[in-house]
């Protein structure tokens, strides 16, 4: 078997925010235990492989950074050379099991830190990691940090699947992918590390590696400002060098008006892997199945479809109504509109009933679970093991994690009703603003200028017909959950109910 050769690149920074809550890991050789790499250096993929990790912290100035740091430090320990034995790397299932255990361990460490330090209550982090070993890519993620694969043979594909409220709307057919990009509730994630309401539930997947693959991991500071087609164009035109590719993505995010921390890691497969045949190679391998088995399965499905179509034509020909019989048939029923809603509006917006969400900008106090004990300032941690008084907590490892299966009953959190995006807009002071409908109320989407606070919002609200400042503030808060109106963050948007008709503004 040929040895795969790769080259790497990575960059992270505060970008659109004053502080950086992201963290990342990248190593060119897991067998050495050194977390280092040289940009664009062509190196062989060693027996234990390489690892790329990105964590996007949540919870404020200090807590978010702490959570993402704990996550990457925990992953480091789980991917140390002494832990990556032949038993761990022996089969695809064992590799995926190890990834899942590592992510759950990071979740437990963050919860333990939040429990012992009151100032860090509510902190959390997303995680996405890619382990390249052998001829395969093994991925694990929790949250909305993303994993992509670009290949000239089939373009750009997102390999991870966001754990977010907006993604659930897309999956349910209530929101088109194009509208999801600009959705005002895109900051609500449904899985994360450190969420006290639930145990971490990472997704883990296996993919075949191909020559010319570019593996891209990024925080939503990149994927939230550049659409997939924009990233694909940058990767396609700069793929000869990972350094050039990295700079193109970085400056693309900056030019798009970044408003969050940005972290990017890249790995290109130079040679030694399989040759892609087309679009079908972009999909993941089925658990325990080879590519040959997958192709045979697809062939069987196609054959069954062709057989079904042939039988359908034969049956239809036998049952066909002749012209002289048409006059005897009853009149057809009235035409029923079965088309989906127009792209610019969501017809049905009630969120799932069993839905637990973690808003990115939610204050730490509001993230405490319903089982929080105010007297002792503690709450049950589903990932911690019961110990007698005075005993040192057991080390979190594969054995202890596997014994913690029962989750503490929690109170479900109902996300806000999704704003319906309306195609029209409103002109105020010779500027155009989007008009949306939130909880059945027509509103104006107002991007808060950098460095401005409530007084700026209030002046704008008065032009929308508001006369009572206190009532106005309450109405905006109800329609913009999690917003701090006195000290909004850079890039925040508020939804202000319209009290006058657009023609009077």
Q: Within this chain, do residues 217 and 366 fall inside the same structural domain, yes or no? A: yes
What does R_g of the chain's alpha carbons equal in angstroms?
Answer: 26
The domain boundary, picked from 381, 415, 449, lies at: 415
The domain boundary, picked from 393, 415, 437, lies at: 415
The domain boundary, picked from 370, 397, 415, lies at: 415
Q: Within this chain, do residues 332 and 363 fall inside the same structural domain, yes or no? A: yes
Residue-level pLDDT at 6: 97
Q: Within this chain, do residues 166 and 251 fall inside the same structural domain, yes or no? A: yes
Q: Report helix, strand or coil for 228.
A: helix
Residue-level pLDDT at 314: 53
Q: Are 418 and 185 in contact (CB under 8 A)?
A: yes
Q: How many CA atoms lie within 13 A of 269 on its CB side?
A: 28
Q: How many CA atoms lie within 13 A of 198 on its CB side?
A: 16
Residue-level pLDDT at 2: 81
User: 10 Å Cβ neighbour count for 407?
Assistant: 13
**Beta strands in 383-451, from DSSP E residues, in sequence order:** 420-428, 431-438, 441-447
Q: Within this chain, do residues 328 and 469 fall inside the same structural domain, yes or no? A: no
- In DSSP notation, 233-294 reads HHHHHHTT-HHHHHHHHHHHHHHTT--S-EEEEEEEEEESSBPP-SGGGGSPPPTT--HHHH
Total of domains in the chain: 2
Q: Within this chain, do residues 432 and 384 fall inside the same structural domain, yes or no? A: no
User: How many Å apart are CA 93 and CA 310, to the nearest integer?
Assistant: 40
Whichever domain contains 226, its CATH number is: 3.60.40.10
Q: Within this chain, do residues 437 and 400 fall inside the same structural domain, yes or no? A: no
Give backbone dihedrals phi and psi of 465, rounded to 5 degrees, phi first: 100, 5
Q: Are 220 and 360 in contact (CB under 8 A)?
A: no
Q: Within this chain, do residues 187 and 302 fall inside the same structural domain, yes or no? A: yes
Residue-level pLDDT at 426: 67
Residue-level pLDDT at 443: 84
* Structure tokens that stand for 128 in this block: 């996405």
Strands in 420-428's sheet, in edge-to-edge order, are 420-428, 431-438, 441-447, 493-497
User: How many Å apart are CA 216 and CA 160, to the nearest integer?
Assistant: 11
Tokens 């979740």 identify what position?
Answer: 107
Residue-level pLDDT at 435: 79
Q: Within this chain, do residues 401 and 472 fall inside the same structural domain, yes or no? A: no
Burial 216-255 (b: 16+ CB within 10 A, else e): bbbbbbbbbbbebeebbebbeebbeebeebbbbbbebbee
Q: Within this chain, do residues 408 and 424 fall inside the same structural domain, yes or no? A: no
Tokens 């593996």 identify what position?
Answer: 215
- For residue 188, which of 307, 377, 403, 356 has the smallest C-alpha distance? 356
Rounded mean pLDDT for each run of 10 residues along the chain, 505 residues in total: 91 91 95 90 95 90 86 96 94 96 96 91 94 97 97 96 95 91 90 92 96 97 95 96 96 94 97 84 52 51 64 50 36 31 29 39 35 35 33 45 34 37 59 76 86 90 89 87 83 84 43
Q: Are 289 and 296 in contact (CB under 8 A)?
A: no
| DSSP symbol at 367 | G
Residue 465 burial class via C-beta count within 10 angstroms: exposed 0-12, middle 13-18, buried 19 and up: middle
Residue-level pLDDT at 479: 83
The angle that helices 228-238 and 242-255 make with each other, rounded to 10 degrees, is 150
Residue-level pLDDT at 318: 45
User: How many Å apart are CA 148 and CA 143, to the nearest integer?
Assistant: 15
Question: CA distances (Å), 33 to each of 135, 275, 284, in order?
Answer: 21, 31, 29
Residue-level pLDDT at 130: 98
Q: Within this chain, do residues 436 and 377 fall inside the same structural domain, yes or no? A: no
Residue-level pLDDT at 358: 40
Q: Are 74 and 55 in contact (CB under 8 A)?
A: no
C-alpha dihedral, 150 to 155 to 160 to 166, nearest 10°: 130
| DSSP symbol at 503 | G
> Which range marks the domain in which residue 430 is found?
420-504
Residue-level pLDDT at 282: 65
- For residue 269, which of 216, 213, 215, 217 has the smallest C-alpha distance? 213
Q: Within this chain, do residues 410 and 493 fall inside the same structural domain, yes or no? A: no
Q: Within this chain, do residues 481 and 408 fall inside the same structural domain, yes or no? A: no
């Amino acid at each position: 078997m040929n040895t795969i050769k790769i080259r790497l690149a990575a960059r992270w920074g505060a970008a659109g925010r004053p502080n950086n809550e992201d963290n990342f890991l990248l190593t060119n050789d897991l067998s050495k235990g050194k977390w280092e790499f040289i940009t664009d250096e062509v190196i062989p993929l060693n027996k234990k492989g390489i690892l790329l990790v990105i964590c996007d912290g949540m919870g404020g100035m200090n807590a978010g950074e702490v959570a993402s740091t704990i996550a990457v430090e925990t992953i480091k320990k789980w991917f140390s050379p002494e832990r990556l034995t032949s038993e761990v790397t022996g089969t695809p299932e064992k590799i995926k099991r190890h990834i899942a255990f590592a992510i759950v361990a990071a979740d437990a460490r963050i919860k333990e830190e939040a429990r012992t330090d009151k100032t860090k209550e509510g902190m959390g982090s997303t995680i996405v990691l890619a382990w390249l070993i052998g001829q395969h890519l093994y991925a694990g993620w929790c949250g909305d940090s993303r994993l992509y694969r670009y290949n000239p043979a089939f373009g750009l594909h997102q390999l991870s699947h966001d754990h977010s409220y907006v993604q659930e709307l897309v999956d349910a057919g209530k929101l088109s992918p194009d509208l999801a990009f600009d959705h005002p509730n895109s900051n609500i994630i449904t899985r994360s590390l450190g969420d006290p309401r639930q145990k971490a539930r990472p997704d883990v997947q296996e993919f075949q590696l191909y020559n010319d693959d570019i593996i891209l991991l990024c925080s939503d500071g990149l994927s939230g400002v550049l659409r997939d087609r924009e990233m694909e164009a940058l990767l396609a035109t700069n793929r000869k060098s990972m350094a050039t590719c990295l700079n193109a993505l970085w400056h693309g995010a900056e030019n798009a008006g970044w408003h969050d921390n940005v972290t990017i890691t890249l790995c290109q497969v130079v040679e030694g892997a399989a040759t892609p045949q087309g679009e079908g190679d972009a999909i993941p391998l089925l658990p325990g199945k080879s590519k040959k088995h997958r192709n045979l399965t697809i062939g069987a499905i196609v054959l069954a479809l062709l057989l079904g179509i042939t039988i359908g034509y034969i049956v239809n020909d036998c049952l066909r109504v002749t012209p002289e019989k048409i006059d005897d048939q009853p009149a057809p029923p009235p035409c029923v509109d079965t088309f989906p809603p127009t792209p610019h509006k969501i017809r049905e917006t009630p969120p799932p009933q069993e839905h637990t969400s973690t808003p990115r900008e939610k204050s730490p106090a509001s993230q405490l679970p319903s089982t929080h004990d105010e007297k002792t300032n503690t709450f049950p941690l589903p990932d911690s093991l019961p110990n007698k008084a005075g005993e040192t907590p057991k080390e979190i490892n594969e054995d202890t994690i596997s014994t913690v299966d029962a989750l503490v009953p929690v109170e479900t959190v109902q996300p806000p009703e999704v704003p319906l995006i309306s195609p029209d807009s409103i002109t105020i002071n010779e500027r155009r603003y989007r008009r949306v409908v939130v909880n059945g109320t027509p509103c104006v989407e107002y991007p808060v200028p950098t460095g401005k606070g409530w007084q700026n919002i209030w002046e704008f609200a008065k032009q929308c017909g508001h006369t009572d400042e206190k009532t106005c503030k309450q109405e905006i808060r109800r329609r913009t959950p999690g917003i701090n109106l006195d000290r909004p963050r850079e890039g925040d948007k508020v939804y202000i109910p319209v009290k006058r008709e657009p023609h009077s503004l």
